[in-house]
Amino acid sequence: MNGIPYFPGCSLKDTASGFEESAFFVMEALGLPLVELDRWNCCGTVYSLTADDLMHHVASVRNFVRVREMGADEVVALCAMCYNTLARVARRIDGDPDARDKINAFMNQEDDYEGGVAVIHLLDILRERIGSDAIADATARPLDGLVVAPYYGCTLVRPKEVSVDDSERPTVMADLFEATGAAAVAFPFATECCGTYQVVDRPELSLERSYRVLRSAAGTGAHVVATACPLCQHNLEQAQREFGGGEGHIGELTIAYFTEILAAALGAEPERLPEGLRSLLETHVTIEGGA
């Protein structure tokens, strides 16, 4: 296979299509294209913590079966929530043969899953298989002058067993942005929760949490907050709409997927980028040979 098997997840086919499109662009530009699984289903959204609740792991296991059907043994996720769910189920099933047998017995009349599929986040691929040097080399539009605040939220870095980086002080996103010439700033709320699904039942709770994240990011002087999760992105945008003009000028922040920022650096046409990022490129990025 020329590329890496890729699990999109439902949101990337719907509300977060910009996340996927920019990731396709980035990986194509870096010579390691994402190859969408021939068949896939919802990851199961949220890893069930109840020890005997195997039913809610079936969705992830079924996706691993699809990975195997393509003759592969690894799969890349973009959405932080999908990544977290798939990676934790993979760990559970690989380390618990009884649970695997039960799930296989339930899925009877179908192919068994024998374990062993590795779930990897795109950030990990960019760091380990592409590397900052290659990203610097491929940068067609250096982002000098742009200040990015990488926001990780919870599911990329917790629990530790599936964290894409140091759980307390992750730098994987910052390293990638710096390779493009941008400045990356750490901020205290970079790994705080955005409020996740509370947005459905108790929106005031997720609004408050997301507001704190934005205020903290705005305090660093960042132009753009980078996200890796459609739900984080949604909650931060909601909070910005609600409290846009308030303390810390959170209304001036652009909120974009990390892949959109990388796509900008790797030369994506401006019309393929979200509006906020497009205008930032015009106002803050020093155009080579220009003003």
Q: Which is nearer to another protein, 15 or 283 (CB)?
A: 15
DSSP-assigned beta bridge partners for residue 226: 150, 256
Q: Residue 217: left if φ>0, alpha if ψ -120 to 50, beta else—which one?
A: alpha
For residue 279, CA distances in Å to 70, 192, 222, 224, 251 come to 41, 28, 15, 11, 14
Name the nearest CA neighbour of 223 among 169, 175, 285, 179: 285
For residue 93, CA distances in Å to 7, 64, 115, 117, 136 come to 18, 11, 7, 10, 38
90-149: which residues touch another protein (CB under 8 A)? 106-107, 109-110
Nearest approach in angstroms of CB 59 to another protein is: 4
Nearest approach in angstroms of CB 51 to another protein is: 17
For another protein, the binding residue among 10, 134, 147, 185 (CB under 8 A) is 10
Q: Which is nearer to another protein, 13 or 241 (CB)?
A: 13
Nearest approach in angstroms of CB 149 to another protein is: 30
Q: Which is nearer to another protein, 44 or 150 (CB)?
A: 44
DSSP-assigned beta bridge partners for residue 148: 184, 224
**Binding track, positions 218-237, relative to another protein; x by CB under 8 A:** --------------------
Q: Which is nearer to another protein, 32 or 58 (CB)?
A: 58
DSSP-assigned beta bridge partners for residue 34: 4
Task: Identify which range of 6-14, 155-163, 188-196, 230-238 contacts another protein by CB under 8 A.
Answer: 6-14
Q: Which is nearer to another protein, 44 or 153 (CB)?
A: 44
Q: Which is nearer to another protein, 56 or 91 (CB)?
A: 56
**Binding track, positions 33-72, relative to another protein; x by CB under 8 A:** ------xxxx-x----------xx-xx--x----------
Nearest approach in angstroms of CB 231 to another protein is: 14
Q: 283: buried, middle or exposed (CB in 10 Å: 19+, 13-18, 0-12)?
A: exposed
Measured distance CA(185)–CA(178) in Å, rounded: 10
Name the nearest CA neighbour of 122 among 191, 211, 20: 20
Q: How far apart are the first and last CA of the chain?
A: 44
Q: Which token pair is 186?
A: 């750490």
Nearest approach in angstroms of CB 62 to another protein is: 5
Measured distance CA(263)–CA(22) in Å, rounded: 6
Nearest approach in angstroms of CB 105 to another protein is: 13
Interface with another protein: number of residues (CB under 8 A): 18
Nearest approach in angstroms of CB 58 to another protein is: 6
Q: Which is nearer to another protein, 14 or 137 (CB)?
A: 14
Q: Which token pair is 206?
A: 């997720």
Nearest approach in angstroms of CB 9 to another protein is: 8
**Cβ distance 281 to 224 under 8 Å?**
no
Name the nearest CA neighbour of 217 among 249, 262, 263, 246: 249
Task: Identify which range of 5-13, 142-150, 212-220, 277-285 contacts another protein by CB under 8 A.
Answer: 5-13
Task: Give the residues lining the site for another protein (CB under 8 A).
Answer: 10-11, 13-14, 39-42, 44, 55-56, 58-59, 62, 106-107, 109-110
